[in-house]
Amino acid sequence: MPRDHVLTLSCPDRTGIVYGVSGLLFEHGCNILDAQQFGDPESGRFFLRVHFDTPDPARIDLVHASFSRLAATHAMDWRLHDARRRARLLVLVSRQGHCLNDLLFRTHSRQLRADITAVVSNHADFAPLAASYGVPFHHLPVDAGHRAAQEAQLFDLVERERIDLVVLARYMQILSPELCDALAGRAINIHHSFLPSFKGAQPYHQAHARGVKIIGATAHYVTRELDEGPIIEQDVAHVDHAMTPASLIRIGSDVESRVLARAVRLHVEHRILLNGHRTVVFR
């Protein structure tokens, strides 16, 4: 039975890359199901995502070995993924549960090719919600004197459960630089698009006081620079003078949930490639 895989790569842009990749797959009897590419004239790099299947699943090891040799000649940063494997997620949350609730439903209903392996929170509020989906809940309180120990427990859980992606679903704690580095490229955060204009507490109230006409949300990879990581997905909603702060919160929560879910989907389907501080996102 054919087995499909996704190949992603980036490398210095030059002629012959697509020819070399497609020729290699052809030699191994693979069938290309979808291919997307992008050459960035600014960075001088080439990006490629190829979805293909193999007639014999056992041949993927030969494909991998052959591609290693091709990649060396082009200085490629590349990954080969099993397209049918469901990613293992760890969701971090504090006291705003709309994004967590949305992700629990989407994974449970198989709308995302992922499973939430565990939920971690610095508060116990959403333990019943996680339990209703049969997902283990870990209450890891945070205080200034024990922050390092709490993060050590968190990272131990990531390693023990073989987590592919950590999702900060309105987790209102700043991760240490060391933890950000350890999770580089596999941690996604969601925040309202007011940053940096409306920093701190009650951003929707600040926005209401300034009479904004658009609110939104941004999903990005977590880095040492707070809320400055490579952007994956964004969306907005139009608002008007008649709306109260409560209305903005309701609308903003919906936008945040949608944007985070789309970002998680793009990541687990291997559609995001880093291009310096930016991303290349293949739809």
Residues with active-site annotation: 227
For residues 94 and 122, is the Cβ–Cβ distance under 8 A?
yes
Separation of alpha carbons 120 and 171, rounded Å = 9
Separation of alpha carbons 254 and 170, rounded Å = 13
User: Which residues on neighbouring strands pair with residue 36, listed in sequence order?
Assistant: 49
Asked whether the CA dihedral 49, 226, 213, 217 is positive or negative, the reply is positive
> Are β-strands 278-281 and 272-275 bridged in parallel, bridged antiparallel, or unpaired?
antiparallel
Quote the tokens at residue 16.
Answer: 């012959």
Q: Which DSSP state fits 5?
A: E
For residues 278 and 230, is the Cβ–Cβ distance under 8 A?
yes
Q: Which DSSP state fits 175?
A: P
Separation of alpha carbons 283 and 159, rounded Å = 30
Query: Which DSSP string do the residues of 211-266 spell out, in sequence order?
Result: T-SEEEEEEEE--SSTT-SPEEEEEEEE--TT--HHHHHHHHHHHHHHHHHHHHHH
